[in-house]
Structures are given as C-alpha cells and as structure tokens.
C-alpha cells in the first residue's frame, strides 16, 4: 500500500507542477498579464526548497525528487512573468524577499538550531506548504470582481487538490505530522479554488474589466 501511495503522490505532484505551465501560454498571449500574480510561483519555490532541505535531513529521496522538479518549473514560471510583465520591479522585490527568506532559513537550520533543527525546519515547511497552496487565493478578489476565473488555472487547482490529499495520506501513513498537517490544510484550500470554477463557470474577462 505504501508503494502505491508514493507512486500516486509522485505522479500527481509532478502533474501539479507541470500543470502550472498552462499559465505560461496565457502570460505570453494575454494583454491582461498583470491579472496573473507571480506570487504562487515564488511561494512554490520557497516551499519546495524548504522541503528539499527537510528531505535531505530525513533521507527521503521521493521528496527530494518531486520538490526539485517543483523548483525548476517554478523558476521558469518566474522567468516568464518577468519577461512579459511591465511590473518588473514588483517581481524583483519578490525575488529578493524569497532569497532572503531561504537564506535565513538555511543559516538558522545549519548553524543555529542545533538539535532542534529538524523540528524547527518541519514547522517552517508546514507554513511554507500552507502558503503555497493558499497563494492562488490572492486572486480571489479579482475573480469576484470580474466574475471570472481567468487568473486561476483549473488544471493547477484540481491537481493541487489531489496532490495535497495524497501527501496528507502519505504523511499520516508514515506518522509524520509535518507532512500530514499542511497538506490536509492544502486540500481544504484547493477545494476553495475548485469551487470558484463552479461558481463562475463559463465567464470570461476582458481587459476593460480589470479592477483598478
């Protein structure tokens, strides 16, 4: 059973990261690119980097692989945002903040935390995971204002739901609350995102509809 959970968790996690690439086409083609926030990509980079460190300490190869894929794809998403937006200063500030957070976390875990390193890193990973799964919700105001889910990705939302559910199951199975708790919360948050598509099904947004 454990091997089945691991296989599906890996499959859906990579699918979730790959589904994020559906945003790239809209970024390149859209005159309303400013509606698509780069924050989820930065949140994913921080989350995956933190979990890579956690997995290195716990020697969990599965976590290392899937989170390394997440880092690579998310960096590419940030690059696309930066290349096509006129709000480059905003992305530069986000990049600096993300680098600062990760540097502080790694310095603390490697040199200051001592024997509490794994526990404290686990808490940080929990926070980062919840932030990642909730990050698309920063667009909820825009979704409600425009009555359109244009700034959300349905493939990403649905794969996030399955991914967080499977990782919560994985965490429960290996008795690791640091894995279970944030992913359970992530499943709930993903359900909120999916519900937006049911509420605003069939609607679209025009550039003139963008709230100022």
Query: How many CA within 13 A on the CB side of residue 137?
Result: 15
212 is a domain residue: no
Number of domains within the chain? 1
pLDDT digit string (tens) for 18-30? Answer: 877 777 777 776 6
Alpha-carbon distance of 97 to 103, in angstroms, equals 10
* pLDDT score of 148 more than 80: no
209 is a domain residue: no
211 is a domain residue: no
121 is a domain residue: yes
130 is a domain residue: yes
Alpha-carbon distance of 50 to 102, in angstroms, equals 8
pLDDT digit string (tens) for 52-110? Answer: 999 999 888 888 988 999 999 999 989 988 888 888 898 999 999 999 999 999 999 99
Residue range 171-183: mean pLDDT, rounded: 86
Q: How many residues does the chain have?
A: 212
pLDDT digit string (tens) for 44-68? Answer: 999 999 999 999 998 888 889 889 9
Q: Is 36 left (phi over 0), alpha (psi -120 to 50) or beta?
A: beta
When mean pLDDT is compared over 9-23, 45-59, 127-141, 176-190, the highest value belongs to 45-59
210 is a domain residue: no
For residue 148, what are the domain limits? 2-204
168 is a domain residue: yes
Confidence of residue 209 (pLDDT cuts 50, 70, 90): very low
67 is a domain residue: yes
Q: What is the DSSP letter of 60?
A: -
Of 135, 110, 129, nearest to 177 by C-alpha is 129
């Amino acid at each position: 059973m454990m091997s089945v959970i691991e296989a599906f968790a890996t499959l859906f996690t990579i699918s979730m990261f790959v589904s994020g690439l559906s945003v790239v086409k809209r970024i390149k083609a859209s005159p309303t690119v400013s509606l698509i926030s780069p924050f989820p990509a930065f949140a994913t980079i921080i989350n995956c980097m933190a979990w890579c460190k956690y997995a290195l300490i716990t020697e969990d190869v599965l976590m290392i692989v899937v989170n390394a894929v997440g880092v690579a794809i998310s960096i590419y998403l940030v690059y696309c945002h930066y290349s096509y937006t006129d709000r480059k200063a905003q992305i530069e500030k986000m990049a600096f903040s993300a680098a600062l957070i990760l540097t502080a976390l790694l310095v603390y875990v490697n040199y200051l935390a001592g024997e509490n390193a794994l526990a404290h890193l686990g808490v940080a990973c929990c926070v980062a995971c919840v932030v990642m799964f909730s990050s698309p919700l920063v667009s909820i105001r825009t979704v409600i204002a425009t009555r359109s889910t244009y700034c959300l990705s349905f493939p990403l939302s649905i794969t996030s739901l399955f991914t967080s559910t499977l990782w919560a199951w994985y965490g429960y199975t290996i008795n690791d609350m640091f894995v279970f708790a944030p992913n359970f919360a992530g499943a709930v948050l993903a359900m909120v995102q999916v519900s937006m598509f049911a509420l605003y099904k069939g609607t679209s947004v025009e550039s003139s509809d963008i709230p100022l």
